[in-house]
Structure 1
């Protein structure tokens, strides 16, 4: 469930049993290739390095279009569609941050108040002091809590996980830096934010996100699954684990591998490219949090070279054609995705159905978003 704007090492590949062999090389196209040739080329190159299939859903205020490469189900010709469900993973974080900002708007939470005031004793010990870590630092990943690449929380008797167990597991790792001094992407930050939401509202965080964001925006294809529910609603994109055997890839279905409570408010959401785009457009359009709250979400810190940044649950990405796009990425067993929108109405959402990272994902997003600028002659 790691943020994907920066290029990172490839995820681990392969499983012990092989389900099927990918034998598809011709990309399925859902829009005329001549209309979006550069983006189709970028998508093909991305898919060649990632999963059995890939898709991009893009457009501007005049309309939307989508392209695909490969397949959403191995051994078939079923291109990925923007209305199919998949695990949105860390795109969940933008929803969680938006709820916290709504609570800020309502005067129930303060961004620069230490988390200790809301969750006494939760962030404590092993070098941590909740009196020195603010709500803002949690949402911005500047709390000093490190990335936990090998989560080992203690499960409940039914095999699911509580937010408290996730947070305790994340805090078993010593701080990576002093609060406010460096950026370290960490699911633990957003699991603490989930606990904050539950403490302030008295309701499960999934129910709060549903009541405050999903239902008001009419995101009918977006859900936060209950603990223990590993299913995806139909229609869905099959997610895969894969490994190279000589010149071919072998794929194992990983669609139901993830126990959603293992990530909870940091990355359990199931959605579609269309719904995620609708949400990001509503957020950037001022329909989710107040103008002041949105301004806080868009205050970024650097996350590496290239000028990209991270705010409060929002990533910023500088486009090669000028301007900035906003959104988030997600990585979960079987899926990698990213959705970006611009203030002038352009949007692009990319998905592949294997957890194999590639820097070419950003190439697809840049092409789709900048294509609209080129067509207008800007």
Structure 2
């Protein structure tokens, strides 16, 4: 596993491999930051209804819009495993019957990559830019993260460490797949959650979580929740984590921020193969040690 740690805003890890890695669903945190920058600048309201259906931007980013997810389609997983050419987005939405909401917006929760496809489309509409340029302009450059790019074709992954995956087409990630070094993922999250990129009220909204229930077997959460582009909740060791885990063929990435007293830290972990729980457990171990938490006192 690769680990990168930031302590009180400064890198706190010995020299690390500098390879580009797939950010998987940590891309959602970047998309949410871009969407919230549009709210910050008055281009859209967090509770404005979206063009794609009777749900708001807040509900999209929090997975509360009533949308299904293409991960439910057996044909999707089969096509990915056979390394087929990705379906056009509109075909995927048709196969999923995506216009049929699975519950009324705002009254339930269901993880949905489709919601983030819609968020990506909103970002493109309101900026008039292709997604990669919009993310660079609105998030990556302002946060000082220079080596991140959007992978569109298998050739874009040629120099990316894909773990145990022999091949993959990034267009199967319909909201977009960012790739970049592990250190840049940690820096982005740390600067997003501790700096002035978003005004305090909007940053608070981003970190207001919908609690999803009790502990999950094999995962560190005692009360897992989801905020706006952030997986968030307490763990048994006495910390509250805020960030995102990403899983794809061949690898797992987890990037989380936490604070204890006046000390704050952000940790990113990448594993070739492996399971979310093992990666998150190592990340929690790193944060507990760095923040000086005594788990027995929690």
TM range, smaller chain: 0.7 to 0.9
TM-score by length of 1: 0.66
Is it true that 1:57 corresponds to 2:4 in the alignment?
A: yes
Distance 1:349 1:296 in 2: 23
Residue of structure 2 equivalent to 1:30:
none
Conserved? CA contact 2:238–2:293, under 8 Å: no
How does 1:7-156 map onto structure 2 within 5 Å? 54-61=1-8, 63-65=11-13, 81-115=16-50, 119=51, 123=52, 130-131=53-54, 133-149=55-71, 150=73, 152=76
Which structure shows the higher helix fraction?
Answer: 2
Tell me: CA distance 1:320–1:59, structure 2 relative to 1, closer, same or farther (3 Å): farther
Distance 2:86 2:153 in 1: 6
| SS of alignment partner, residue 64 of structure 2 | coil
Residue of structure 1 equivalent to 2:106:
180
Structure 1 unaligned residues grouped into runs of 5+: 1-53, 68-80, 124-129, 153-158, 241-252
Distance 2:171 2:134 in 1: 16
Tell me: CA distance 1:98–1:164, structure 2 relative to 1, closer, same or farther (3 Å): farther
Structure 2 unaligned residues grouped into runs of 5+: 77-84, 215-221
* Superposition deviation, residue 349 in structure 1: 1.2
Is it true that 1:239 corresponds to 2:163 in the alignment?
A: yes
Q: How many residues align?
A: 278
* Superposition deviation, residue 315 in structure 1: 1.4
Q: Which protein has greater RCO, CA pairs closer than 8 Å, 6+ apart? A: 1
Tell me: CA distance 1:376–1:58, structure 2 relative to 1, closer, same or farther (3 Å): farther
Residue of structure 2 equivalent to 1:215:
141
TM-score by length of 2: 0.82
| SS of alignment partner, residue 12 of structure 2 | strand
Distance 1:279 1:184 in 2: 26
**Structure with larger Rg:** 1
Q: Deviations over 1:349-376 (max 9, x none)?
A: 111112x424222221221111123389
| SS of alignment partner, residue 304 of structure 1 | coil
* Superposition deviation, residue 320 in structure 1: 3.2
Instruction: Give the RMSD, CA atoms, in angstroms.
Output: 2.9
Q: Deviations over 1:7-40 (max 9, x none)?
A: xxxxxxxxxxxxxxxxxxxxxxxxxxxxxxxxxx
Q: Deviations over 1:116-137 (max 9, x none)?
A: xxx2xxx3xxxxxx23x11111
Is it true that 1:228 corresponds to 2:153 in the alignment?
A: yes
